[in-house]
Structure 1
Amino acid sequence: MRHEWKPELDQRNLLPAQSPTRRDSRRPSVFLQMLSLGARISLKRSAVFCLRFACRPVSTFGWISFLGDLSLKQALGRPHDDLLRKSLDVFFITGISSPVRLGMMKTHFQLAAELLRHDDLAALWRGERLDMGSVSGRHETYKMQMLLADHCGCRHEGVFAIKLSRASDDYTLWTASFVFIRGEDGTPTLAIGGMQGPKGADAKRAVISATRCLGGLRPKDAMLLALHGLVSAPHIMAVSNATHVINQRRRKRRKLMQADLDGYWSERGGLPAEPFGFRLPAPSAPQVDSLNRREQSKRAFWDIGSGFCRLSSLKALARSPLAKA
């Protein structure tokens, strides 16, 4: 969260000496929350958390310390337990160390504090779902929400996730998990850690129906437009088939991955790029007031993303180098 300069803050050196002590007295709250974690989660999860702490004490302690510091600095309150349990061993991409993953998660929340409204960040911090907006198709309305990646089956693929679902029955059509990162020029952007479609016998039929309802716009394309709009950056990053974190999982788990990420990113104009796998150029701004239903849907999802981020603006959108979606 950005703060405007306030003259009264320059008087901080005149505060009584006990002020830092009062602040420090609040610091252990997240650590106390961690110590009581076993009473709120299953025995198996508690054992895994303790084992992780024993194997990676420095990184795990660093993560818990960061959560406590950010909670105080941004006045966010206590984080959701699933944030405390975030794995530093299996997260986002393969082939990087736990300290690098720790730095990635820290950067994500530091940028989230800049990009998101304080109330929205605080709600996500507590594990709540945020309604980003909705889009009406021919015969159905589709809603988009942002939530913790842990709460939509992709905890290893990102910190936050967005979910597209039917408003009538909350049927999930697509999810995408991500982290905020800094681009090569230092500006905020994001990296996609995974995209998942629906499962079950009706999955294919549901996606086809939604595509027709939205004038030919596929749910996964709608998700990508919203993510581009969220940061209004020249490009975003995405993991490849080879760098996807599932490659660190058990063989049984790896067999569950059916999506060809490389093929989809290439279809969307993506080019191979380190360290995640692909760089996706920003799509062209969808037409405003178009009579074409597909263009209307594209614009609606773009606006959902750009409207959710407090720092997105028409100026940022205009200066982005645009390529055809």
Structure 2
Amino acid sequence: MIPARFFHSPSAYVQAVERLEPLLACLTVLLFAVAFYLMRHGIARCYRQAYDIAEAISNRPAARPAVRGTQLPARESGDAGKSADAVNLYSCLEHTGPGSSRLAKKIKLTVRSFVHHRHTQRWLEYWNLTPAHTALARATPRLLQKIYRPYQSLRLRQPERLEVLISHYDFIFQQGLAPLVLKAAQLQMPVGSFIGKSGDVYEVRLAAISSLDREGELALHLYRDQQHLFSTAFTFYKHDVSWCVGIGCLQGPRGADARERIRRATRDMFGLRPKALMIRLVREIGHAYGCQRLVLVGNGNRVVNQPSKADRVHADYDHFWREIGAARRSDGDYEISCKEIQAAALADLPSKKRSEARRRISLAERAVDDVRRALACGRR
């Protein structure tokens, strides 16, 4: 559970420190190199000791569940003693080739494990709770580094990021979605499809962890005839006593013809905009799993907070959130209820527009039903 006090707008100082963390890590590495050159043997000996301590921290087994209220099966006695099965901080480098790049990443992780000792320890304990946790962490090495980087919204500092991530995976395991997430982390999974006015086939695919990994743990991608059209990334988490879905990204296609592709798709889907469909799908998923609110990242809180490029479309999140009826929060993000999904009132439309509106509603409902069914089939 995430205490309410965690959700606030971080100071400019905190945001600056988090944004500069990669630079600070590089400077730390440089200082290590200079110190080693100046005091070779002494610094080398100190570094070896520091490395041994960090290794011990990373390999420390879980002594107890890291999250209150989480009911998870214990490891079998045969697995408990197999240290080779446990993950540590350096497990995320297993697929990295040898060389200076691997060494630099290892030093960077070592520094981060010292700076964020308690959070690193709790994070590693969590991923060694059960064989299922360990299997997911080993299959997706980048997962172990997520607590060190800005995530989903800049309002989240590292303690909140850790709470959100643990809360999300508690939800995934409690709902029996871990096998589905593991598959989606390895390969995008089709979870829905429909045919547009032109006869083109649209497909919704689910990805996990590595796709849009700074914006969410799960991602939905919309394709038109095998060409990417739109994506959104989201995360489940608990705030106070209720579950929420947080959206950290709403991304359209890139390229000179991006806007035209969106316009053509909107016409082909009977006036349903791709971004509106993606938000509807996530909102319906949240509703199906008992989430109370959909929390939407504001422009100022985006983790990739830089001037928009000419080939990007739909960059103004705030405008769209207001358009769908979301309310702005004091921390700069927006929220809308997952429970109050109102059906369109056809009687309010001119008679000549009702036929297309019916087709639009039918198309959206089919996509929603397909996604719900696919997620239900993926549960165990």
TM-score by length of 1: 0.75
Report whether the alignment pairs 1:243 with 2:243: no
1:8 is matched with none
What residue is the counterpart of 1:80 in the other structure? 140
When structure 1 is superposed on structure 2, of 231-240 and 207-216 the one drifting more is 231-240
* CA distance in 2 between partners of 1:76 and 1:52 (Å): 20
- Give unmatched runs, 5+ long, in structure 2: 1-72, 346-353
How far residue 176 of structure 1 moved from its aligned partner, in angstroms, is: 0.6
Aligned residue for 2:179, secondary structure, equals helix
- Report the equivalent of 1:301: 367
- Whole-Å separation in 2 of the counterparts to 1:95 and 1:185: 20
Give secondary structure in 1 for the equivalent of 2:248: strand
Alignment of 1:231-270 (within 5 A): 231-232=286-287, 233-247=291-305, 253-256=306-309, 259-270=315-326
**Are 1:161 and 1:176, in contact at CA under 8 Å, matched by a contact in 2?**
yes
Runs of 4+ with deviation above 4 angstroms: 40-46, 73-77, 253-258
Aligned equivalents of 2:103 and 2:266: distance in 1?
Answer: 42
- Unaligned ranges ≥5, structure 1: 1-11, 13-17, 248-252, 312-325
Counterpart residue number, 1:320: none
When residues 216 and 36 of structure 1 are mapped into structure 2, their CA distance, relative to the original with a 3 A threshold, is closer
**Farther-moved stretch of structure 1 (210-219 vs 28-37):** 28-37
Equivalent position to 1:115, from 150, 170, 175: 175
Q: Bigger shift: 83-92 or 138-147?
A: 83-92
Partner of 2:267: 212
Distance in 2 between residues matched to 1:174 and 1:106, nearest whole Å: 27
Match of 1:272 among 313, 316, 328: 328
Q: Work out the number of aligned pairs and report it.
A: 284
Instruction: Give 1 or 2: higher helix fraction.
Output: 2
8 Å CA contact 2:221, 2:231 repeated in 1: yes
Question: 2:133, 2:105 → 1: CA distance?
Answer: 29
In 2, the alpha carbon distance for the partners of 1:262 and 1:94 equals 15
Deviation at 1:107, TM superposition (A): 0.8
Q: Which amino acid aligns with 2:317?
A: L
| 1:31 corresponding residue in structure 2 | 88
Q: Distance in 1 between matches of 2:230 and 2:336?
A: 19
| Identity between Structure 1 and Structure 2 (%) | 21
CA RMSD of aligned residues (A): 3.4
Three-state SS of the structure 2 residue aligned to 1:144 is strand
Distance in 1, Cα, partners of 2:121 & 2:206: 28
CA deviation string 1:95-126 (max 9, x = no partner): 433122111111111112233534312313x5
Task: Provide the TM-score with structure 2 as the length reference.
Answer: 0.65
Asked if the contact 1:91–1:156 (Cα under 8 Å) also holds between the matched residues in 2, the reply is: yes
The Cα shift of 1:64 comes to 3.2
User: If you compute each CA radius of gyration, which structure gives the higher value, 1 or 2?
Assistant: 2
Aligned to 2:258: 203
